[in-house]
Structure 1
Amino acid sequence: MTRQHAGVIFGGILFLVVAMGISRFAFTPILPFMRVDEGLSFEVAGWLASSNYVGYFVGALWAGFIYRKKKQLVIANVLINVTSIIIMGLTHSFALWIILRFIAGATGGIIFVLTSSIVMDYLAANLLTRWSGYVFSGIGLGIAISGLFVPFLEAIVSWEGTWIGLGILSALFLCTTLFLWRNIHVRDAEKVMKTDDTNIWRGFMPWLIAAYGLEGLGYIITGTFLVDIIYNIEDLRAFAGYSWVVVGLAAIPSAPLWMHLMSRFSTITMMAIAYALQVFGILLPVLSQTVWSVLLSAFLFGFTFVGLVTMSTGYGRQLFPKQSVFVVSMLTTFYAFGQIVGPVIASKLETHFASFKAPLIFAGSIVALALVILLVGYWWSSRAAEKEMEAGEIV
């Protein structure tokens, strides 16, 4: 691999570190400190989270219709995203927080879709598709960075300074990618004429999208409230921050590892294993509240959710290689829609039952349903394809 190829991948990793790991998921370890200092309820925190996911939904959907100037637009959105991170630490207005989390989500959705598309298309054009999983390690790296930096910064400059510090770090990552991508030319995409071969709403793809949407609904409950849940278990409070670091460290190698397994074994089998492991990880704190059980839960969460992002988007692009932006956009849009309602439902369940176990049981059930839809959909679409082939042979 040449230095330029590596630079394209690393630049994409840094963009996902900013948009996903910091702008989006740093909220999780910062949330306990904001709730204590600002007196925020669990339900109010859920609205802040959902505002971000509404923005992510809008951004991901919008990105599916971007065919020109992808490089310029993704850079502009990273700049706006970084600005929103810094301003989070400069205000105590709940109304402004809602707006800022929406902006962070909208720009994050665009950044994720366009960065994924730019890097995957570049690697495919240079016969380096096997390296595409590495770009998604940026999600885990960003989570690990936020998990390590948040407790350190908060102890020195409180939660306000933590947002500002992470914003400055994100600005440095933006500058690095600008340097690495300075000689990369991204061609405008062409709109693909709709035919049976290009219609993504047939065959297995709708099932994959439905399962991925439910995954978004189920996983985000743990992704939003994991640290807060552990923080509110008095015996485990000291391990709350470490749990998020474990999520990030588990997520970093998961993307290339799952992509490697997907290339050697059945994609659906690997995805099914990831779904099953995630269900177990989500439900583990319900069954046991020990240090090792919550850290194992955090590890399984990080290891599987980034893997499912990688495999779902990668497999979708394999099915429709000429429509990478639209396919990634549709998958991400349904994923984001699940994320919108997830935190709200979780906060309602926690308030009603006065227990963190209720939202986790709900989340585990939803991810289990996603697994069922994935398997049933694959069986159904494979059977339909066989019948079409048999009918064609008879004709």
Structure 2
Amino acid sequence: MNRHHARIVVGAILFLVVAMGIGRFSLTPILPFMREAEGLSVEKGGWLASANYIGYFIGALWAGFIVRNQKKGLHINAWICVLSILGMGIVNNFYLWLFLRLINGITGGLIFVLTSSMLLDYLARNSLSKWSGYVFSGIGIGIALSGILVPYFQKYFSWQGDFIGLSILSTVFVLTNHFLWKKLENPSIEKIKGPSQKFWTGFMPWITIAYGFEGLGYIITGTFLVDMIHEMPSLQNYASYSWVIVGIGAIPSAPIWSILMAKYKPIIILASAYILQIIGIFLPILSPTIFGVMGSALLFGITFVGIVVLTTSYCRELYPTKSASVVSTLTSYYAIGQIIGPIIAGKLATYFGGYNSALIFAGSVITFALCLLLFGRRYSQVKLNANTSTA
């Protein structure tokens, strides 16, 4: 990879650091401090998370309709995303927080879909698709940075300082992206010659719906992991470190899963990622120790980015001429699950007086998603073979 291509990839990584790792997921390590200082209930914390995912759903859908000036749209949304992070540290009203998390989600959905589709297409055009997994490492880098910096900022500036400090860091990253992407042209909109592909056929509905249930289940850990550990008196001091472990697991996961998918059957690798995530979700219940919760954090980091990359890459292989539509559709279903997950988890945790019930629910949902994935693959393959034999 030459210097120009490297600059484009690093610029994309920085976009995902800001939009996903910081903008979207920094609430997780900050939430325990917000709840402690502001008296927020678990249920209200769930609503803050869900407001972001409602926005993410809107942004993901919206991105599917943006075909011109994508680069300009990305930069505008990146700056709005930074302002929404900053606003969380300035205002002190629950309903304004909901609004800011909604705006942050909209910009995050737009940035994720546009960055992913632009970069995956760019790498494909330049015969560099093997580097696509590295782009998604930005999510893990952002998570690790927020996990490291949040306790430090909170110690000296309270939870408001967390958001302000992270918004300043995000500003630096967006400015750097402007420099790195200076020579990147908007993707050309060309009519694809040849027969058009039917989009919602075969295995696509099954993998998409399973992906939606995955979004519902995984986001419960993604929202409440740090707060859950913070609630354990013997492990409270390790709560913030757990989010660093998530980031460390997430950073190399995309390229590792991509390499595995290239060597073995994609469905086997994808199913393996689901199984590891299910084990990680149940670990804190089976072993409420430092090893159990840190193992859970590591498995969560390794798998949640991996499942995103594997699912997106696999579906793009099935429909190579529908890149933006594939990413937008998958992200939309994923977002629907994410909207519902924190609300249900908040209610379960409030009703049962702890997070175990929420984790059991999350693990059960992802187990169902795995069954749906495997059954759908088998069913669509049998149907395809039957159609081929009768043709």
Paired position in structure 1 for 2:110 = 110
The answer (yes or no) to whether the contact 2:212–2:333 under 8 Å persists in 1 is: yes
Determine the C-alpha separation between the residues in 2 that align with 1:134 and 1:317: 17
Paired position in structure 1 for 2:144 = 144
Paired position in structure 1 for 2:338 = 339
CA, structure 1 residues 43+318, in 2 after alignment: closer, same or farther (shift >3 Å)? same
Q: Residues 160-179 of structure 1 correspond to what in structure 2 (within 5 A)?
A: 160-179=160-179
Paired position in structure 2 for 1:268 = 267
Q: Residues 346-385 of structure 1 correspond to what in structure 2 (within 5 A)?
A: 346-385=345-384
Shift of residue 133, structure 1, vs aligned partner: 0.6
Shift of residue 96, structure 1, vs aligned partner: 0.8
The answer (yes or no) to whether the contact 1:221–1:342 under 8 Å persists in 2 is: yes
The answer (yes or no) to whether the contact 1:59–1:109 under 8 Å persists in 2 is: yes
Paired position in structure 2 for 1:211 = 210
Determine the C-alpha separation between the residues in 2 that align with 1:383 and 1:8: 42
What CA deviation, in whole Å up to 9, does each residue of 1:69-105 have, x standing for no partner? 1111111100100011011100101111010000000
Paired position in structure 2 for 1:62 = 62
Structure 2 counterpart of 1:140, one-letter code: G
The answer (yes or no) to whether the contact 1:52–1:101 under 8 Å persists in 2 is: yes
Paired position in structure 2 for 1:122 = 122
The answer (yes or no) to whether the contact 1:21–1:141 under 8 Å persists in 2 is: yes
Shift of residue 193, structure 1, vs aligned partner: 9.6
TM-score (norm 2): 0.98
Could you say what secondary structure the match of 1:321 adopts?
Answer: coil
Paired position in structure 2 for 1:243 = 242
Determine the C-alpha separation between the residues in 2 that align with 1:375 and 1:187: 36
Paired position in structure 2 for 1:390 = 389
Paired position in structure 1 for 2:18 = 18
Determine the C-alpha separation between the residues in 2 that align with 1:187 and 1:333: 22
Could you say what secondary structure the match of 1:133 adopts?
Answer: helix
Structure 2 counterpart of 1:71, one-letter code: K
The answer (yes or no) to whether the contact 1:69–1:188 under 8 Å persists in 2 is: no
CA, structure 1 residues 191+287, in 2 after alignment: closer, same or farther (shift >3 Å)? farther
Shift of residue 286, structure 1, vs aligned partner: 1.0
Paired position in structure 1 for 2:86 = 86
Please report the RMSD computed on the Cα atoms of aligned residues, expressed in angstroms: 1.2
Shift of residue 190, structure 1, vs aligned partner: 4.5
Shift of residue 188, structure 1, vs aligned partner: 3.7
Determine the C-alpha separation between the residues in 1 that align with 2:189 and 2:224: 39
TM-score (norm 1): 0.97
Shift of residue 65, structure 1, vs aligned partner: 1.4
Structure 2 counterpart of 1:165, one-letter code: G
The answer (yes or no) to whether the contact 1:56–1:336 under 8 Å persists in 2 is: yes
The answer (yes or no) to whether the contact 1:346–1:359 under 8 Å persists in 2 is: yes
Structure 2 counterpart of 1:345, one-letter code: I
The answer (yes or no) to whether the contact 1:218–1:362 under 8 Å persists in 2 is: yes
What CA deviation, in whole Å up to 9, does each residue of 1:270-304 have, x standing for no partner? 00000000000001111111000100000000000
Paired position in structure 2 for 1:313 = 312
The answer (yes or no) to whether the contact 1:70–1:188 under 8 Å persists in 2 is: no
Determine the C-alpha separation between the residues in 1 that align with 2:207 and 2:3: 35
| Structure 2: tracts of 5 or more residues without a match | none
What CA deviation, in whole Å up to 9, does each residue of 1:119-170 have, x standing for no partner? 1000000011111011011111110000001001111111111101100100
Determine the C-alpha separation between the residues in 2 that align with 1:315 and 1:191: 23
Shift of residue 239, structure 1, vs aligned partner: 0.5
CA, structure 1 residues 159+233, in 2 after alignment: closer, same or farther (shift >3 Å)? same
Shift of residue 372, structure 1, vs aligned partner: 0.6
Determine the C-alpha separation between the residues in 2 that align with 1:270 and 1:103: 35
Determine the C-alpha separation between the residues in 2 that align with 1:231 and 1:121: 42
Determine the C-alpha separation between the residues in 2 that align with 1:365 and 1:109: 26
The answer (yes or no) to whether the contact 1:51–1:340 under 8 Å persists in 2 is: yes
CA, structure 1 residues 324+248, in 2 after alignment: closer, same or farther (shift >3 Å)? same
Determine the C-alpha separation between the residues in 2 that align with 1:357 and 1:161: 31
What is the total number of aligned residue pairs between the two structures?
391
Determine the C-alpha separation between the residues in 2 that align with 1:293 and 1:383: 41
Shift of residue 198, structure 1, vs aligned partner: 1.6
Determine the C-alpha separation between the residues in 1 that align with 2:188 and 2:67: 6
Paired position in structure 1 for 2:5 = 5
Determine the C-alpha separation between the residues in 2 that align with 1:268 and 1:343: 28
User: Post-superposition, which runs of at least 4 consecutive aligned residues in structure 1 deviate over 4 A?
Assistant: 190-195
Could you say what secondary structure the match of 2:225 adopts?
Answer: helix
The answer (yes or no) to whether the contact 2:118–2:187 under 8 Å persists in 1 is: no
